[in-house]
Structure 1
Amino acid sequence: MDFLEKVMGRSHIGAAIRRVEDLEEAVRHPNIHAIFLLGGDINYLPGMIKKVRTSNKVMLTHIDLVEGIGKDRAGIHLIKRMGVQGIVTTKSNLTKFAKEEDLWVIQRLFIVDSESVKTAIRVAEKIKPHAVEVLPATIPQYVIEDMKRSLGLPVLGGGLLRTETDVKEALGKGIDAITTSLRQLWNVNL
């Protein structure tokens, strides 16, 4: 799939970072191709983007969690001009703007019960992101299968993974890749 190759670099692990200080390790890590920024503020983005691009990696910004970015068309346009390559969001309306700017889009979905699965599929079918990220990554296999069958998109998993066994179980259920801030999981060889 295009997304898995171009964004994830065929790796099954993406580095989730919450602070500017965490970027250096993610950029240098040989198993990491995609870096997911889950915090900070817009003032640090230009320097971070430059480091990521220089290392031939991809950075996606969780636009809902980075301070100073307008959660609107202008905010999406600004981060595109800054060099951000993609976004992660829970907000469906931002997906349209991001796709208009030719950004990679990951729709983050919280799965808490059967109704949230139906809603997640309905929303993703309508907005057509490049991939979805389900939280937690420990959801049952049938949910992942339903999503893949209905959406035909890569499914990423994040949250509640602590061990190498957890990662392997998530991938064994059909999750295409995981995102994690736990550095020891960046070293999992699959």
Structure 2
Amino acid sequence: MDLNEIFIENPVIAAIRNKEDIKKSIQSKAKICFVLFGNVLNIADICRILKEEGKIVFVHIDMIEGLKADSSAMEFLKKYAGMHGIITTKSFNVKHARKLGLLAIQRVFIVDSLSLKTGIKNIIENSPAGVEVMPGVASKIINNMRPKIKNIPIIAGGLIKDKKDVMEALSAGAVAISTTTHKLWDC
């Protein structure tokens, strides 16, 4: 699966926080879904429903209740949820996901120049399939990061509220954006 090509063709990602968002994402044009909620009892069903609707599913492993975000959790999710990949803030999870044949999106929060430097270092060391930069409205950060991490796709996430935010993030070098704003899922 060429993730970069998928993001280029589907630049708006449905970030799903609850059951209502599942329904809205299924009705939307968004092909990719970031699942940002769930628990050990329902995550397999959430992934199954989305996959049956033709969605590409990434689970934010750090946010699943009842699972510790570690290698065993990833193996469990791969076996029982069958998602396409994970999202995580933890570098060791990126490495283990790759070993399991899962795509891994590394989420980085950039709040100052040190976190930017550390984020770039971790991305280069771990080679995730993609990087989600938070906050997504930080086009200056994306511009700075883009040449340093080369071909790893950047996803802008957080505080994306209108089409202008989408366009600014994409113009800055992001290949996709993730948002919980339903009206943008049909852009």
TM-score range, shorter chain: over 0.9
Residue in 2 that maps onto 1:77: 75
Give the residue type in structure 1 aligned to 2:33: I
The aligned residue for residue 90 of structure 2 is: 91
Q: Is the 8 A contact 1:9 1:33 kept in 2?
A: no
Return the match for 1:66 from 52, 64, 68. 64
Determine if contact 2:58/2:83 at 8 Å carries over to the other structure: yes
Partners of 2:2 and 2:31 lie apart in 1 by 14
Aligned mates of 1:5, 1:53 — CA distance in 2: 19
TM, length-normalised to structure 2: 0.92
Task: Find the residue that maps to 1:42 and give its secondary structure.
Answer: coil
Which residue number in structure 1 is paired with residue 51 of structure 2? 53
Question: Which residue in 1 is equivalent to 2:153?
Answer: 154
- Structure 1, 176-185 or 39-48: larger mean CA deviation: 39-48
**Which amino acid in the other structure matches residue 51 of structure 1?**
I
State the 1:20 CA deviation. 2.6
| Unmatched runs of 5 consecutive residues or more in structure 2 | none
Deviation at 1:40, TM superposition (A): 2.0
**CA distance, structure 2, for counterparts of residue 131 and residue 69 of structure 1:** 23
Counterparts of 1:161 and 1:9, CA distance in 2: 18
Does the 8 Å contact 1:134/1:156 carry over to 2? yes
Post-superposition shift, 1:41? 1.2
Cα distance in 2 between the residues matched to 1:60 and 1:131 = 11
Residues 136, 158 of structure 1: 8 Å contact kept: yes
Q: 1:2–1:47: structure 2 CA closer, same or farther, 3 Å change rule?
A: same
Structure 1: which amino acid aligns with 2:182? Answer: R
User: 1:181 Cα deviation (Å)?
Assistant: 0.5
1:160-179 residue pairs with structure 2 within 5 A? 160-179=159-178
1:147-173 per-residue CA deviation (whole Å, 9 max, x = no partner) reads 221212100001112111111111111
Q: Which amino acid aligns with 2:172?
A: K
Q: Letter of the aligned partner of 2:14 in structure 1? A: A
Question: Counterparts of 1:12 and 1:129 in 2: how far apart (Å)?
Answer: 18
Q: Root-mean-square deviation (CA), in Å?
A: 1.6
Deviation at 1:9, TM superposition (A): 7.1
> Structure 1: where are the runs of 5+ without partners?
none
Q: Which residue matches 1:4?
A: 4
- Conserved in 2, the CA contact under 8 Å of 1:156 and 1:177? yes
Q: Distance in 2 between matches of 1:106 and 1:169?
A: 21
CA distance in 1, matches of 2:161, 2:185: 11
Q: Which residue of 1 aligns with 2:39?
A: 41
Name the count of aligned residue pairs: 185
Displacement over 6 Å in runs of 4+: none
Measured in 2, the distance between the counterparts of 1:9 and 1:102 equals 22
